[in-house]
Structures are given as C-alpha cells and as structure tokens.
Amino acid sequence: MADQHELRDKGLRLTPQRELVLAAVRELGHSTPEEVAEKVRLTHPGINLSTVYRNLETLENVGLVQHTHLGHGGATYHAAEELTHLHLVCGKCEAVGDAPLEIAATFVNALSDEYGFKTDVSHFAIYGTCSNCQ
Amino acid sequence: MADQHELRDKGLRLTPQRELVLAAVRELGHSTPEEVAEKVRLTHPGINLSTVYRNLETLENVGLVQHTHLGHGGATYHAAEELTHLHLVCGKCEAVGDAPLEIAATFVNALSDEYGFKTDVSHFAIYGTCSNCQ
DNA sequence: TAGTTGGTGCGAATAATTCGCAACTCGCTT
DNA sequence: AAGCGAGTTGCGAATTATTCGCACCAACTA
C-alpha cells in the first residue's frame, strides 16, 4: 500500500535510502540530484551522493521518476505522477513555472501531423523569461 | 565586409582562432564545443580547447552565436542567424530536426497572454521521438 | 534462520568546463 | 616603421558533476 508495494512491485528492494530518495523527489518537485541528497540527509545524514544518483537512475528505469534538462548542465528530476504540466523555465531567475498541457495541444498535434515527431511531454521544457523578470 | 568588420564592429580583436571558431559554428549548425574544436583543428591544429570555450562565450556575448541545452549535459552552439526554426530533439537517436517557428506561434502567444511568459525561441528545444525512431 | 544477490558507502576515475598566469599579438599611436 | 598596452592564447591546474570498482552489508527467499 505504501511505498513498500510500489517499489517491490517493480522488482526493487526496499531500502530506507531508496524510499527517501523517492519521497524527496516527490516532495521537492523539480530538483537536482544534489538537492535530493540534501533533502534526504535531513532524515538520513549518512547517505552517499553516489547512492542518490544510482537510485534516481533506478527509479527512472522503473518509471517512478523522470528527468529533464532544464538548462545549464544539470538534470532535474521529478516524480512520474507529476506530468500534468509543462515546465516554463526562466532564463534569468531560473525559476520553473508550470502551465497545463492543454495549452500546447494544438502545437503538439501539429508536430505530430506535419513532421511525425512525437513530443515527449515529460521532457517538455520551454525557455524564456517569466513575468517577474521582464 | 568579411568577418573582419563583423568581429571588429563588435569591439573584438580579429584573431585567426576567433574567425575559425565563428566559421565552424556557422558551418556545423548545432554543435558542441568539442565538435567546434575538432573542426577548427582541421585548419589550425594547435588551437586550445579553452580558447574555443572562451570564444564561444565571447561570440555569444556580442550576439553572433547562441547556445541551447538540447539534452544530456552538453550545450550546443549555433550561429545567431540560424534562428528561424525550432529544434526537435530526438531522445533516441539524438538527431536534431528543424521546424519553422510559425508552427509554435499560437502556442507562444498563449503563453505570453495567459502567463506573461516570453518564450525565447532561440532556446526553444522540444524533446520527443523523431519519425525514424518510432 | 542462512544464503544469494542487490544495494550501500567510499574513494578513485572520468568528463566537462573554468581559471590563473605568463607569453604573445592585434591594432592604435607615434 | 617601431612601440606600447590591452585583449588573447596556450597550458596546466582547479572545479564541478557524474560514474565506477570494490568490499561490506542488508533485504528478501526458501
């Protein structure tokens, strides 16, 4: 019912580290591996960065989290459930805003119809300047 | 007339390295610093990677080239002139396809009207799967 | 409860990018 | 034509981000 089943159903072992990484991603929304590690350390100080990286990768493989490249170099992770919006990335303040998927529907359809390109909404990041930074 | 004026008009010195870096970006289209360096080395074998990085940054500052994060970690650079299309990045084969800006016009307008978010088309990268990889 | 197998911690290895600094050269000034 | 000063370059070291190898440990299975 809890995370237990969720992870074990995917064929993964249930370790405190893994649970915490998943929980952190869910709570933080968009976050870098570093931020996830920081969050996890609040309750499990000894966790190793490598473990965070490995768990993020593992969790991504089983489809519980996903990552996107929202700018700079670093990847940011978010829970798979949270795919109901687009990411609006501000190039100035680096804030990540959200917008409903529907707003892009016709655009996505056009790309599909005219170019055979299937847009991956989970990786859909849009760069620009947010209203606060203009 | 040639690159000479173009660079000097921007207040930059005209060095062979700089000219070559700019020429390489223009010829290569989307390319990583590493690829630019490789290209430049064809005619100027001794060029240092640092110099390529610095020139890309310099050229970007004066608006002659721009960069985008099209996936993974690395940034890719392209000439500023070449901003007349969107980048369709295939997550599988990593190919970068193009589509005209107009296809996103209504979408961009909607983001502006409803969220006050000004989309930067030069950084507009769309993730998905291209027609060949489906 | 004991075994096997995946998972963790840790430190080293890579990769990508940036920096510091001394030598060089571009372009302006005599 | 020669000189000077600032912008540039090359090079190696320093960073940052991420991955690996390996020995130890713990989660699930029988």
Over residues A54-111, the pLDDT tens digits come to: 999 999 999 999 888 776 667 889 998 876 778 888 877 777 788 888 888 899 999 9
Q: How confident is the model at residue A120 (pLDDT cuts 50, 70, 90)?
A: confident
How would residue B111 be classed by pLDDT, with cut points 50, 70 and 90? very high
Interchain contact, B126 vs A130, CB within 8 Å: no
Judged by a CB distance cut-off of 8 A, whether residue A73 touches chain B is yes
Q: What number is the average pLDDT over the span B94-123?
A: 85
Nearest to B88 by CA among A101, A118, A128, A96: A118
pLDDT of the residue at B122: 63
pLDDT value at position A92? 73
CB contact under 8 A, A134 and B118: yes
| Residues B44-73 pLDDT 10s | 999 999 999 999 999 999 999 988 877 666
Query: Per-residue pLDDT tens for B21-46?
Result: 999 999 998 899 999 999 999 999 99
For the segment B105-110, the average pLDDT, to the nearest whole number, is: 91
Which residues of chain B are within 8 Å of residue A126 when distances are taken between CB atoms? 111, 117, 119, 124
Task: Evaluate if pTM is beyond 0.75.
Answer: yes
Q: Catalogue the long-range contacts made by A93-99 (C-beta closer than 8 Å, 24 or more residues apart).
A: A93/A130, A93/A132, A93/A133, A95/A130, A95/A132, A96/A29, A96/A30, A96/A70, A97/A130, A97/B115, A97/B117, A99/B111, A99/B114, A99/B115, A99/B117
Query: Quick one: pLDDT at residue B133?
Result: 83
What is the per-residue pLDDT for A1? 46
Which nucleotides of strand D come closer than 7 angstroms to any CB of the protein? 7-13, 17-21, 26-28
